Amino acid sequence: MNIQCVAYIGKQNNPIFVKNLGGPENELRYHFISHVSCDIIEERTSAAVKGSTDLYLGHLSSMEDIAVYGCVTNTKIKIVVILQLADIIVKDSDMRQLFKRLHSAYANFVSNPFYLTDDGAPAGSKVIASKKFSETVENIARSHVATA
């Protein structure tokens, strides 16, 4: 399993952070796919049972050579992972673990008292530009590849 992109999308469907691991030629493509995934996530979360504590949405879609997975945090932040399809089976348990680690990294970052969240800000005005957060997300993605 090869993770190509990890995206964090805000409450107002604004991209907060997009980490492209698949090369610069795919940056726009992955940005577009992660944004399009918002519609699928909205569809699934509106149809979900109220009071459900399961934040993992699983496989959202497949396109050509990639698969898109997603989850939503309690604070309505969407996390989207784009995988390059290969001849292996992607286990939900592995993906749940990956999303748990990505959510934990985000929670640790926003727990910083000097970080201002996007609550009440105009859509698209808040993005994560932290080098440390970027490295953390990349390390999580790379280590997940090694264990899969």
pLDDT 10s digits, 67-119: 999 999 988 899 999 998 876 778 888 999 999 999 999 999 988 877 666 55
The closest of 92, 94, 81 to 22, measured between CA atoms, is 81
Q: How many domains does the chain have?
A: 1
- 3-class DSSP state of 80: strand
pLDDT digits (tens, 9 = 90+) for 12-41: 888 999 999 988 888 999 989 998 998 899
* Contacts of residue 7, Cβ cutoff 8 Å, sequence gap at least 6: 15, 17, 18, 19, 30, 31, 34, 37, 78, 79, 80, 81, 82
pLDDT digits (tens, 9 = 90+) for 46-62: 876 566 667 888 899 99
In angstroms, how far is CA 42 from the centroid of its own chain?
Answer: 14
CATH of the domain at 38: 3.30.450.70
In angstroms, how far is CA 146 from the centroid of its own chain?
Answer: 19
CB 140 within 8 A of CB 105: yes
pTM comes to 0.86
Which CA distances in Å does 15 have to 33, 48, 51, 92? 12, 23, 26, 25
Which domain range does residue 48 map to?
Answer: 2-147
In this prediction, residue 22 carries a pLDDT of 83
d(CA 52, CA 40): 18
pLDDT value at 4 more than 60: yes
- Average pLDDT of the chain is 84
